[in-house]
Structure 1
Amino acid sequence: MNAKLLMWAAPALFLAIATPVAAQQQSESYKFLQAVKDAKGNDVIAMLDKPGSSIVNARDINSGEGALHIVVKRGDETYLRYLLQKGADANIRDRNGNTPLILAVQGGQRDMIPILAAAKANPNLGNQSGVTPLILAVQGRSIDMVRLLLAAKADPDQADVMAGLSAREYAAQDTRNTAIAKLFDETPKRTRAAVSGPRL
């Protein structure tokens, strides 16, 4: 093979070697997420038990959903606990910025809140609109979930992006459910650290 031909063939040879590895990894991620969706426990366990496996935080290339999003939507606490024990990121976000905690509140899965909180889920992570789990709980008028989120250190004064309102402000506006507003009245405002910067 002459030098010119080798120069042209080398990139193609590199692609032929590299592509199967990338495709295999993508394929493994797809298979894992599909096994979680189909609740194929033995397959999920086998994939996560492979030495050096980091597939637990694989995300769907279209929706950005990870395994935790799938099991939270399904309301599957057993799977949720298992995946968290295997190192799943409790703060993983889908393409809309939704965390498992946001989805738990949206789906009315109150018992998942303490499970996620114990796994260091941040209750103050909002989605792309800045909507936090606590804002969603207020809008859904769920005093139980509001209490659980406050216990997990959710900030009632963190505003969303769209309306610029906090959970406390949404509760104050809702005249049909004054119990949550009363609960916030008993919750002191947090002292926020001053923004450091040059003094004039």
Structure 2
Amino acid sequence: MNTGFTFRGGLRAAVLFAAAAGLATSVPAAAQFSDGYKFLEAVKKREGDEVTKALSEPGSTIINTRNISTGESALHIVVERRDLVWVKFLLQKGANPNIRDNKGVTPLELAASLRFIEAIEALAEAGADVDETNSTGETALMLATHIRDGEMAKVLLEHGANPDKTDNSGRTAREYAELDGRTSPVLALIQSSDTEKDAGTYGPAIR
């Protein structure tokens, strides 16, 4: 008797399990992902209508959502693909220009590593910290000095980059530029920036 009861109970459980499994597989795949995941996927695919719809939700903070594995935000994604239109769009919608990924990298640091100067300028104008450092204490201005990128250095200095901030070794962008010698395009820019600051502090320069 007990054997028959157990068999019928097991059969009933198997039927219920199969029905539940069928119901689960009938749910659309997209519905199984979070809104944040779908938002980042829409950004990756340049689905402007979907992104705009997500951002239009009252009280939404989804614009600063981060990938659960990498910590990448929407800004990181569009900087990585060198997409200035989307960089400006997200900043206008309130994206945090100082958000970090899981490695501690900000969108401006990423833009500097890519020499994406237009994005550096847009991010700086939106409030990005131009003196933010990576794990070695290197600033974007130090990077510009090392790779002798005068255009990048000019943009950073115009937005307040500090040439005297030290890295983990205790050296500054100014010192690296001096070590590079008089041919360094960054050294001349730093010196010019010093002159402009002095003129602004003490009045017009007398020629």
Task: Give the TM-score of the pair, scaled to structure 1.
Answer: 0.76
Structure 2 SS opposite 1:188? helix
Aligned equivalents of 1:74, 1:90: Cα separation in 2: 16
1:67 deviates by: 0.6
2:59 — aligned with what? 52
* 1:141-152 paired onto structure 2 within 5 Å: 141-152=148-159
In structure 2, the CA distance between the partners of 1:71 and 1:164, relative to structure 1 (3 Å rule), is same
Assess if the C-alpha contact under 8 Å between 1:73 and 1:104 holds in 2. yes
**Does structure 1 residue 41 correspond to structure 2 residue 33?**
no
Q: Paired residue for 1:116? A: 123
CA distance in 1, matches of 2:41, 2:170: 38
User: Compared with structure 1, are the counterparts of its residues 143 and 133 closer, same or farther at alpha carbon in structure 2 (3 Å cutoff)?
Assistant: same
TM-score, structure 2 as length reference: 0.73
Tell whether 2:177 aligns with 1:171.
yes
Residue 191 of structure 2 corresponds to 185
Corresponding letter in the other structure for 1:32: F
Q: Does the 8 A contact of 2:149 with 2:185 survive in 1?
A: no
In structure 2, the partner of 1:32 is: 39
Find the residue that maps to 2:153 and give its secondary structure: helix
1:126 aligns with 2:137: no
Check the 8 A contact 1:90/1:121 in 2, yes or no: yes
The match for 1:17 is none
Please say if residues 65 and 94 of structure 1, whose CA atoms lie closer than 8 Å, have aligned partners that are also in contact. yes
Partner residue in 1 for 2:203: none
Percent identical pairs in the alignment equals 44
Higher helix share: 2
Q: Which amino acid aligns with 2:49?
A: N
Match of 1:159 among 166, 191, 194: 166
The letter of the residue matching 1:45 is: T
Structure 1 spans left out of the alignment, 5+ residues = 1-23, 191-200
Give the C-alpha shift of residue 140 in structure 1. Answer: 2.0
* Amino acid of the structure 1 residue aligned with 2:141: L
Structure whose alpha-carbon radius of gyration is higher: 2
Across the aligned residues of Structure 1 and Structure 2, the Cα RMSD in angstroms comes to 2.3
Q: Could you tell me whether the CA contact under 8 Å between 1:141 and 1:177 is conserved in 2? A: no
Give the equivalent residue in structure 2 for 1:106.
113
* Residue 92 of structure 1 pairs with residue 130 of structure 2: no
Map of 1:198 onto structure 2 = none
1:69-94: CA deviations, max 9, x gaps? 11111111111111111110011111
